[in-house]
Homo-oligomer: A and B are copies of this chain.
Amino acid sequence: MFKDIKLSEGRPYYLQIKDYVKKLILNGVYVKDDKLPSTRELSSILNVSRNTVVEAYRYLEDEGFIKNVPNKGAFVSYSAINNNENYFIKWDDKITNYALLADELDTYKHDIRWEKGMISFKSISPDDRLFDIEDFKKAFLNRIAIEERKILNYGYAKGYKPLIDYLLKYMENKGVNIINKDIIITNGFTEGFDIVLSALVNRGDRIICENPTHNTAIKIMKLHGLDIKGIEIYEDGINTKVLKEELTKKGAKLIFLIPSYHNPTGIIMSPEKRIEVYNIVKEFNIPIIEDGFNEELRYSGSHISPIAAFSGSGNGVIYIGSFSKVLFPGIRIGWILADKDLIYYFESIKRSRNIHTSFLDQAILYEYLSVGNFEKYINKVRKVYKEKYEWTINCIKKYIPYKRLLGEGGLHVFIELDGIKSREVLSESIKKGVIFTPGDIFYTDGKGENSLRIGFSRVDYEDIEKGIKILGDVIKNKRKGD
């Protein structure tokens, strides 16, 4: 006993000794009323100061495991109760269909994973080497100096007031009329979309979206049991003729759109089409959910207002925004801007799910944004990503025989091949160390087997060329094989 204890750095010795003795008691090595070694004895065995052991014993007493009796020593005061009557549940019989579906649709879990040495075009996360960590640290220290301890206590379901006010102005600066609108802070787009669906749809309800569309959105819609109707998109956005027909024929409870740097295609819906879509949907009095995805990563051309800006004082557009696609995804902060009567309900749903989003993270983000860091950051990364985007486009043009190449900004491009299945390409390319996301997971109708998404944000120039050349070779070989 006490011979096998290994004291390591980092955690104070007295806590390590406390943990060790606790384990002996919990495992029944020491039982009630047993006397522990004296502090002098133990300090000599462990080669630590006597005070360290005294401190360890004090904590053990504090936690209710021992009793220190003056002049007599330390005695165990805890009776371990042994209960060897275990039982085992077969979870397979208990798991809900909801959980089974969540697992089945969990592409992260089931897809090919990156391994060391691979070139991966799967990620569309920002390159964290571009994060300005010093500005972030400054934001933390400044804000905590202002808010002090209270920022670490409970906050409000709607969010941190200064951040909400900042975002309202931010949306106003995109041309959105914020009168009678309000904002709730969410844990990223994912939670925002989930909350909106919880408030507005029941199982079996019909929802219209672009086809293809964001695979996480498809997952959430399926988990809500929705009847999903995807409508094809052209280079300037959704097919409005079909949209109108579908609405006339069968209606819909909601429309979900990603007008900017659409995931996965990278298409930007033109201003004219945004208005056209808005006016069609208006006729049917249906809410539009607009995903503001990567709106900030415009590389050329003039500013395009979100659909929310075209709705003026109307209340039909629910805008879900998130910085976390370009900035600090790890802190998971997004928001919903909508009619304040709707935010009223979203607030209660949010509270029932997780009380609120981390107030510390909201406060740091607010401080970071308010002093102009975001503009500075976007200005920097836009240049970096634009060059990488152009490099990627050029490599694809050089090496890959594609049918269609899409993507006007953001952190990814989309390729349609001519009669070649992208999953077959993947099973070859992975042997050569190159992976990407097959396009079929973005389709609402099981199509898209000839397409693939190439995320370039975290891949270096050399690897982009190398990886795309490998993909090109695999594809060319497949063509010859036909």
Chain A contact residue count (CB 8 A cutoff): 133
Nearest B residue to A223, CB-CB:
B352
A245 to chain B: closest CB distance in Å?
A: 20
| List of B residues within 8 angstroms of A360 by Cβ | 328, 330-331, 361
Q: Report the bound CA distance from A40 to B455 in whole Å.
A: 43
Which of B64, B133, B173, B315 is the one whose CB lies under 8 Å from A149?
Answer: B133
CB pair A91 B358 closer than 8 Å: no
> How far, in angstroms, from A315 to B88 measured CA to CA in the complex?
5
**Which one, B108, B344, B355, contacts A190 given CB within 8 A?**
B355
How near does chain B come to A294, taking the closest CB pair, in angstroms? 14
Q: Report how far A42 CA is from B193 CA in the complex, Å.
A: 43
Contact of A199 among B98, B310, B356, B372 (CB under 8 A): B98
Q: Which residues of B contact A81 (CB under 8 A)?
A: 271, 275, 305, 310
Asked if B352 and A106 make an inter-chain contact with CB atoms under 8 angstroms apart, the answer reads yes
Of A296-304, A412-420, A424-432, A446-454, the one contacting chain B is A296-304
Cα-based distance from A127 to B91 in the complex (angstroms): 40
Q: How far is the CA of A332 from the CA of B156 in the complex (A)?
A: 12
Task: Please determine whether A345 and B95 come into contact, CB atoms closer than 8 angstroms.
Answer: yes
Name which residue of chain B comes closest to A362, CB basis.
B330
Contact A152 B125 (CB under 8 A): no
Pick the contact of A86: B314, B359, B375 (CB < 8 A). B314
A314 to B309, CA, bound (A): 57
Flag whether A220 is at the interface (Cβ < 8 A). yes
Residue interface bits A269-283, CB-to-B below 8 A is 1, else 0:
001000100110010
Does A99 touch B at the CB level, under 8 Å?
yes
- Residue A48 CB within 8 A of the other chain: no
Report the separation of the CA atoms of residues A278 and B219 in the bound assembly, to the nearest whole angstrom: 38
Q: Are A348 and B23 in contact (CB under 8 A)?
A: no
- Which residues of chain B have C-beta atoms less than 8 A from A339's C-beta? 89, 91
Are B371 and A12 neighbours in the complex by a CB distance under 8 Å?
yes
Hey, which bits of chain A sit against chain B, CB under 8 A?
A: 10-12, 15, 18-19, 22-23, 26, 59, 62-65, 77-81, 83-89, 91, 94-100, 102-103, 105-106, 108-109, 125-126, 128-129, 131, 133, 136-137, 140-141, 144, 148-155, 157, 169, 172-175, 186-188, 190-191, 194, 198-202, 216, 219-220, 223, 253, 271, 275, 278-279, 282, 285-287, 298, 301-305, 309-316, 328-332, 339, 341-342, 344-345, 347-349, 351-361, 370-372, 375, 379, 382
Q: A65-B303, A94-B253, A216-B352 are in contact. List 7 more A-B contacts (CB 8 A).
A: A26-B305, A78-B303, A96-B200, A99-B199, A187-B357, A331-B359, A358-B358
A-B contact pairs, 7 of them (CB 8 A): A11-B372, A15-B372, A26-B174, A79-B271, A87-B285, A99-B348, A103-B348
